[in-house]
Chain A
């Protein structure tokens, strides 16, 4: 087995949040709390979970856009969290990100051409303006934008086109890893398939690794080879796609999968549901032991006392639950 491209070990991102009241002590919000995974070259890891579970924070911490509180992010064996500014900047060539909100991720005062060219200006300042323009046009063509739109501004594009600009900006440096932070959740359903296919197409062409963050299980199933389920900043289950969708072991994963709607009213009505009660507990004050126990149908006494560790439940299938065998 080749060395992984990206190796994340026990990554923690904690934020200090001011407490309620005048003299309250600051509280710690554990957005990501001890996440570990490997990513091989050309692989896609899907990251799913509900709102506020730390998906986006994880993606940003991997790219060092947010400082990690503890743990390690090793890129080709090199520790990213310890790098100085200049070296980190050089590494950014290989690490890119596609954002959720297509319009908000583009500078409204810049033309599409300038937006796509910005990484080139940062890393290849030796290129002449003409060469840069040629590269930008070529990239626009690759992501399905007409090169004649190079002088247009973001507000003159549709959401899908804006996302294509964002993708072009991420891809123009030929990165090795792209974090896709819910790239399609702000788009119309009709556009989603196009953007996902574009991403997968670019991935196979450029041999990219992807971290695909989404709360849409069907999308993740389509693009990912492996899937990681996050809950309150902790990994619940990490497995190969087919194994996860066919035989989820963790009660939370089961609940998530059973909540995916089936586009047929009769089957949808007849389908058994795993119902999860209550709201998501506050990440400021997570439950003791297993963080999911307050909403888990299988919770017993041990769940409150002992934090389950991620243990292998089959080939390429890890789960963090005391009761997965039941």
Chain B
């Protein structure tokens, strides 16, 4: 069964769980709220207030437990736990547009920030000066970067952008990174090397990108309701396969891999969909929380006697109102994240939506 947590009635742009899943960070307007697991629910524990415009993304590093946030105020903050509470450090991003997306690298020494300024700021800590500095990936980005995803080797970085491209860059920083093992994406890869560039055939915005658990495939979702999986062959060579699945649904805006042969995507249709496949081909396998199968409306979790009588009074009907969607999420899903299981075998994933809910779904519908 899926766990539903209606937190508040504001959109959730991004959410992140700590490694032990006891702490949940949720962006809410200009703040980030920290919830602690208590029994079957979450209780508000702390609030990170440091941005003065909408917070667009938040990420908790699993091991160091540092939290990085970014916002439309063009800043990113790194929050460290201290005896007196969470201590923020401002990061010099040097961008002149909103920051849109932030993610820690798997080894947690770097993080990348996407922005509307057509740059990706790759940030790392400079011990000498005791601050976070950033290096920009600029070319050939032509528009706002919506999402970023790290390869397991912490050097390759995928970006999806409004110029209809999903790209794979090298974010190798001398002195911070070890030279990575050669992969199908590239062997010798200095900073800002473009290791792959894939256009969405109908020119739709690329909303989200993700590397497969092994890092040997890249998936992205675009505004033409499609999911595309790319299998690279060798550096500088055309890929083995670029497999696109177009669906009957509204566009997806987020995706997450669960296994090497399975991924979940969700978006404006308010319920997640599972895709399965391999280099031979991909297909839509099944829906999680399928609205056609659920009898009751998802809003029943919040229904009350008061609502029922209000319905009868205002609209003169006694049945549940039909303004609610039949899915658990009552509005678009913004972010999917793995929740339980190991990379390559995720059994549960979490989602956040514009309806202010966090839902934890089992992958098996």
- Indicate, yes or no, whether A interacts with B: no
**Which residues of B approach A to under 8 Å, CB–CB?**
none
**Which residues of A approach B to under 8 Å, CB–CB?**
none
